[in-house]
Structure formats: C-alpha cells, structure tokens
Amino acid sequence: MENLKITELIGRAPWREAVKYKDTWPHEYVLSGKDNQRELFELVCARLRAGEGVEGRFLNRCNTYLFLGGYKYWLMTHWDEVDLDDGQNYVLNRAPLYRDRRDFVIQRGDSGKAECYPAKPAASNGVGNPEPRS
C-alpha cells in the first residue's frame, strides 16, 4: 500500500529539469514547500529513516539514495535534518538509473551521459567503501 502511495505522489509531483546540469549530470528536482510536496518528502524521509536507502557518492559528496522504479532519488539536505515545519524549501532530486557503477559512485572523469559506460572501477577509502559523509 505504501509503495502505491509513494509511486502515486512521485507521478503527480511537478518535476522540473535541473537546467544547470542538463548536459553533464541530467536530473530533475521538486521542492517541498513551493511545490506543495510535503507528503512526498515525509514518505521519502520515512523510507530513508527505515534503512531503505543506499549510501553512495557523487564526486566528493556522500548521499543516501532511494531506488524506486527506474529512478534513484536523493535529498540535498540529509534526511535526518529535514524539518518540514521550519519554512525551508527542501530539494528532492531524481535521475534515471544508469544500471552501472554510476548509480552508486560517481567520480572525476565519469560522464553523466547514459551511453558513456565508466571505464574505471570505483575509487574507495581503502576498504571498499565511499568516504564517509561530512
């Protein structure tokens, strides 16, 4: 039932293209307040709090990604710090899945173009994990 609810909210959300990155790392985003998406943000944060997210890295930034359907979703503010009553506009991003390493780790030299399969394996901190979130 919750899967149907979050899928329905995702389908109704007014996703907009992140124009600044359309040629390098294409993705879309929606805003919590401006776009009246409180319920969607509540469900995404609840899923992440429940441990359904996967830690990944975009260059030097660690993110927690939620994989639903053919997309990965991530917040610009850590889910533990989102307070939907504080008047801020929080950002929820989504990008189509690459179905390769870039769904988990994006590093310098990678391309955001779907057809450009990454040649290098993921860099790590020596134990096979991305650097911790700072």
How many angstroms separate the CA atoms of 95 and 56, rounded?
14
**pLDDT tens digit sequence for 22-70:** 888 899 999 999 999 999 999 999 999 999 999 998 888 899 999 999 9
pTM, entire model: 0.82
Instruction: Return the pLDDT at 134.
Output: 45
How many angstroms separate the CA atoms of 100 and 115, rounded?
11
> Which tokens is 4 given?
């149907």
